[in-house]
Structure 1
Amino acid sequence: MRYCLALDLKDDPQQIAAYEAHHRRIWPEVAQHLRRHGVTGMEIWRLGTRLVMVMDTDDARYDRDAFARAGESDARIREWEALMWTFQAPTPWTPPGVKWVPMTCIFDLQQP
C-alpha cells in the first residue's frame, strides 16, 4: 500500500537545513523501527516549508495502530520524534495532536 502524508516545517532556513541534515542520516533505530513494522519504502519531498511523505508498506505486516503504539513505547523513537517536532509545524488542516496528515489521492494515471 502507498500512503502520502503532509506536514509543514517552521519557516526558518537554518532549521530547514538542520532538518534535511538529520534526514540524510537518520538514526539506525528509526530505520529499523520502520522496516520492522512493514514500511518497505519512504521518501520525503519538500517545497518551501511543505513536506510530503510517500510511504510504501507491506500490507501483510503494516498495521498503522500497532506501528504507532510501538513508536510510543520505544524511548529512542520518542526521542527522534521529539527532535523532529522542533523543526516541524502542523499544516493549516492538521487536527490537534496529529503530525503527519494523510493526503487524498485525486488522480492516478494507472487507474482507468
Structure 2
Amino acid sequence: MNTRRLCFSCDLRDNPKLIEEYKQYHAKGNAWPEITKSIKDGGIIDLQIYLTGNRMFMIMDVDETFDPIKKAKEDAHNPKVQEWEELMWNYQQALPWAKEGEKWVPMEQVFQLE
C-alpha cells in the first residue's frame, strides 16, 4: 500500500482553559466515534495532533484512496462532522496567513533526513 504524509498547522485561542478543554475533547477515547469513522473512511490511516503553546501541528498518513476534495465534500454533507467542526472552532483560530475559510494550513516540507 502506498502512503503519503501530509502536515498541517492551526492555532488554538490563546486561553489556558480553552486549550485544556480542547485537549480533553481529543484525549484517548473522547473523540466522537462518528468523527474517527469519517477520518478512517476518507483514506486517512493515521492522524496525530501535536501542541506547543497554542500552535498545533497535525500529521496525517493517507493511503492511495485519499482525495482531499472528495473528503471536504463528504465532510460538508455530514451533519455530525459539521457539528464537531463548529464546536472545535470555539477553540481554534486561523493562522494569520491562512486563506479565507482555511482552518488547517498545509505545511511545506523543508528537510528530509537522508
How far apart are 1:107 and its partner, in Å? 0.1
Q: Distance in 2 between matches of 1:93 and 1:103?
A: 12
Q: Distance in 2 between matches of 1:94 and 1:51?
A: 14
For residue 51 of structure 1, the aligned residue among 50, 56, 69 is 56
1:53-80 CA deviation, whole Å, 9 max, x = no partner?
0000002x10100000000000000000
Equivalent residue number for residue 23 of structure 1? 26
How far apart are 1:26 and its partner, in Å? 0.5
Q: Distance in 2 between matches of 1:94 and 1:68?
A: 17
For residue 76 of structure 1, the aligned residue among 74, 80, 88 is 80
Does structure 1 residue 92 correspond to structure 2 residue 101? no
How far apart are 1:93 and its partner, in Å? 1.3
Amino acid aligned to 2:61: D
Q: Which runs of 5+ in 1 are unaligned?
A: none
1:11-64 CA deviation, whole Å, 9 max, x = no partner?
1000000000000110000000000010000000000010000000002x1010
Q: Distance in 2 between matches of 1:96 and 1:58?
A: 28
Q: Distance in 2 between matches of 1:62 and 1:54?
A: 14
Q: Distance in 2 between matches of 1:99 and 1:26?
A: 19
Root-mean-square deviation (CA, aligned residues, Å) is: 0.6
How far apart are 1:108 and its partner, in Å? 0.8
After TM superposition, the score normalised by the length of structure 2 is: 0.94
Percent identity between the aligned chains?
A: 36
Instruction: Name the SS of the counterpart of 1:69 in structure 2.
Output: helix
Q: Distance in 1 between matches of 2:53 and 2:95?
A: 13
For residue 37 of structure 2, the aligned residue among 6, 9, 32 is 32
After superposing on structure 2, the runs of 4+ consecutive aligned residues of structure 1 that deviate more than 4 Å are none
Amino acid aligned to 1:4: C
Q: Which runs of 5+ in 2 are unaligned?
A: none
After TM superposition, the score normalised by the length of structure 1 is: 0.95
